[in-house]
């Protein structure tokens, strides 16, 4: 098993060139055609009566003046939910500060996306940031406007 893991790491390293703690993709087409098809790209934790989380296991690094397109997106398809009391938040967590931990609380990170200042989430009805819920009533355009205002305000505080 260790030998296989080493071979996989060797292949991945051959596709990326490390710079300043990040990675620059040498051949994006090769990655998409060879490594990504028919693969599960999500890491998932499942905890009983606790928040679970999923995150893409791909890292995209950008550099000022670089030629990589700086805007990207991901799609999420929820096939089924078995628990009647389940809720789902979709959002973004900042890698510099967001740390999802079961139970959450001071010094322990956040329980879910939107529970701290390093992440935000949308649950289909409300925007969540810093553990506070802001109900959205006017439609999708309002969500993007509100996200833009929240994130600009957050960036200006740093």
> How far is Cα 122 from Cα 112, in angstroms, rounded to an integer?
11
pLDDT band at 40 (very low <50, low <70, confident <90, very high): very low
Percent of the chain predicted with pLDDT > 90: 0
Percent of the chain predicted with pLDDT > 70: 23
Domain ranges of the chain: 40-157
More confident residue, 82 or 123: 123
**pLDDT confidence of residue 157:** 39
What is the average pLDDT across 53-65? 62
* Cα→Cα distances 95→2, 30, 33, 53, Å: 28, 27, 28, 15
CB-side neighbour CA atoms (13 Å) of 108: 8
Question: What number of other Cβ atoms are within 10 A of residue 118's Cβ?
Answer: 19
> How far is Cα 61 from Cα 109, in angstroms, rounded to an integer?
24
> How far is Cα 142 from Cα 121, in angstroms, rounded to an integer?
14
């Amino acid at each position: 098993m260790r030998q296989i893991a080493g071979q996989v790491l060797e292949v991945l390293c051959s596709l990326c060139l490390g710079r300043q703690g990040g990675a620059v993709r040498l051949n994006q087409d090769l990655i998409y055609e060879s490594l990504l098809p028919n693969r599960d790209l999500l890491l998932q934790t499942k905890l009983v009566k606790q928040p679970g989380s999923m995150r893409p296991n791909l890292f995209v690094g950008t550099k000022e003046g670089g030629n990589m397109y700086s805007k990207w997106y991901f799609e999420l398809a929820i096939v089924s939910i078995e628990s009647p009391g389940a809720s789902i938040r979709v959002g973004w967590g900042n890698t510099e500060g967001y740390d999802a931990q079961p139970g959450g609380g001071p010094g322990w990170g956040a329980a879910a996306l939107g529970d701290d200042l390093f992440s935000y989430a949308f649950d289909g009805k409300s925007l969540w940031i810093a553990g506070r819920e802001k109900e959205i009533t006017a439609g999708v355009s309002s969500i993007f406007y509100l996200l833009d205002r929240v994130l600009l305000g957050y960036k200006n505080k740093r």
